[in-house]
Amino acid sequence: MSSSNSSRTSFGLSGFADNLMGTCLGVHLFLFYTDVVGLAPLWVSAGLAIALGWDAVASVLMGRISDRTRSVFGRRRPYVLAGALPVALAFLALLCPPAELHGHALAVWFTISLVVLFTARTMVQVPVLSLLPELGKTADERTGLAARREQLGNVGDLVGLLLPIAILMAMGAADEGADVSLARRGFGTAGAILAILAFAALVLTWVGTKEDTNVPAPREIPMREVVRALSDNAPFRALLGAGALGAVALAFVNALVLYVLEHVMHESDPAIHLGAFVLNAVAAIASYPIWTRVVARFGKAHAFRMGLATSALAFGSVFLVGPGDHVALALVMIFSGIANVGFWMLLSALTADVTDLDARRHGERREGLFAGFAAFTKKLAVAGASAGVGVGLTLIGYEEHVAPSAEVVFGLKLLFAVPTTLLVLAALWIFRRYDSDRTEDAAAALVHDAIEA
């Protein structure tokens, strides 16, 4: 089946829901739990590492379950509806920790809430991503679907980033000397609104997408043979490695961006934060026609490389900003918003392409496994980044509620720029083995076979 504009939008709303929650947590979670709730950075890192480690395993399991599911609604869509409410409730619990919890008890609440949330998100998002190769048969359709999902995802980024800030400002929780309990209530209110929005978006994804209910079930084969088949897919290996390393770099940046604004630029004014994030998200949303033309001109693989390379330039720009450098900050946020689109948009489209190579070779549609293994590697990578942020902050001497020294501020810059740039360079090196000719030939052959049938 080919994708209509309405099905692209419905599919894209899953990206809105995912980014709404993911970006809110990626930007605000560390600061919320360390500076508002009072949990030590190492506890936050430990909880994230545990939850993401489990989530990585759950992604592979969900991929296999999705491939084997048979229902009147298809293989993927039932899980979108079933997971919508658990996702919303777990997200709300994470941003509303009981005020009486402290220390170990608070760390347990944090970790359990994360585990439940990530499991529910995986239950939804792995099947959704597995739909992309089926909704879009041609390269242009897949690029359009991936672009719509990432574009609406950027709208989710904007809402997830800014709604907590706007609510904190409206409540006076961001004022100097404000009681920390105001900030807790502000984040709780934001969590409730965001949870409702995510639930509604996932329900609309379920309503507005269709799938073929007659796809034959893949053969029952041991997991080791599945892993061997995937490891024999050289383009998939290259994409998997590059995508994981790029995801680590971007997760690192997301977790540190507020620390940079607060301590490198000395900007505690939420209005400045608000403006910076708006510029970043608006630039990203506006850049999709540019990246679509880049894909048409150079192909998906080269566009993916461009996205990685320009992201690395954005990371290093932290050394160009300082106290009061608002123009430089605006330019950096605009550039980084445009750069990141090339990575995320093309990662989804390329993952859909490598499934065709597997289907052509083995005669089975196993999109769930590919989506699951892609999520597995990415989530392990993000778990490593989450642990690295906490360890890095500890190593440079950062302490919550203590004004950082000049040495700590310089350490923040190094954390933001050096590991992330090295990761992107490693991703580019791994991606050199991606063979776009093989994946494109396989996709064309499958379209031809479908027409002939």
Closest CA to 83 of 206, 192, 194: 206
Q: Is residue 92 part of a domain?
A: yes
pLDDT at 449 over 50: no
49 SS3 class: helix
The pLDDT mean for the chain works out to 82
Measure the CA angle with vertex 429, ends 427 and 435; round to 5°: 95
Q: Is residue 223 part of a domain?
A: no
In this prediction, residue 87 carries a pLDDT of 96
In this prediction, residue 376 carries a pLDDT of 76
DSSP secondary structure of 253-276: HHHHHHHIIIIIS----HHHHHHH
Using a pLDDT cut of 90, give the percent of the chain over it.
19
Dihedral (Cα; 291, 296, 297, 301), 10-degree rounding: 70
Q: Is residue 288 part of a domain?
A: yes
Number of domains making up the chain: 1
How far, in Å, CA of 385 to CA of 377, rounded? 12
Closest CA to 195 of 112, 94, 57: 94
Q: Is residue 226 part of a domain?
A: no
pLDDT at 399 over 80: no
Binning pLDDT at 50, 70 and 90, where does residue 193 land? Answer: very high
Q: Is 50 left (phi over 0), alpha (psi -120 to 50) or beta?
A: alpha
In this prediction, residue 83 carries a pLDDT of 94
In this prediction, residue 219 carries a pLDDT of 61
User: Are 344 and 150 within 8 A, CB to CB?
Assistant: yes
Residue 221, CB half-sphere, CA atoms under 13 Å: how many? 15
Higher pLDDT, 249 or 355: 249
CA 385 from chain centre, in angstroms, equals 13
- Residue given tokens 């997991």 in the structure block: 223
Q: Which residues contact 23 (CB under 8 A, 6 or more apart)?
A: 156, 157, 160, 161, 254
User: Are 196 and 92 within 8 A, CB to CB?
Assistant: no
Q: Is residue 139 part of a domain?
A: yes
**CB count in 10 Å sphere of residue 28:** 24
Boundaries of domain holding 320: 5-211+233-452
How far, in Å, CA of 427 to CA of 246, rounded? 6
How far, in Å, CA of 14 to CA of 199, rounded? 10
In this prediction, residue 216 carries a pLDDT of 60
In this prediction, residue 401 carries a pLDDT of 67
**Residue range 334-346, pLDDT digits in tens:** 888 888 888 888 8
Residue 265, CB half-sphere, CA atoms under 13 Å: how many? 27
**Residue range 302-334, pLDDT digits in tens:** 899 999 999 888 888 888 888 888 888 888 888
User: Are 215 and 75 within 8 A, CB to CB?
Assistant: yes
pLDDT at 54 over 80: yes
Segment of 20-24, 32-36, 117-121 carrying the highest mean pLDDT? 117-121
In this prediction, residue 452 carries a pLDDT of 41
User: Are 338 and 284 within 8 A, CB to CB?
Assistant: yes
Segment of 174-188, 316-330, 412-426 carrying the highest mean pLDDT? 412-426
pLDDT at 383 over 80: no
User: Are 318 and 413 within 8 A, CB to CB?
Assistant: yes
Q: What is the largest CA-CA distance in the chain?
A: 71
Q: Is residue 376 part of a domain?
A: yes
Model's pTM, two decimal places?
0.73
pLDDT at 150 over 50: yes
Closest CA to 431 of 244, 250, 253: 244
**Residue range 240-289, pLDDT digits in tens:** 888 888 888 888 887 788 788 888 888 877 778 778 888 888 898 899 88
How far, in Å, CA of 181 to CA of 150, rounded? 35
| Rounded mean pLDDT, 109-120 | 94
Gyration radius of the chain's alpha carbons: 21
- Residue given tokens 């954390």 in the structure block: 415
pLDDT at 385 over 80: no
Q: Is residue 220 part of a domain?
A: no
pLDDT at 368 over 90: no
Task: Look up the CATH number of the domain holding residue 33.
Answer: 1.20.1250.20
Q: Is residue 225 part of a domain?
A: no
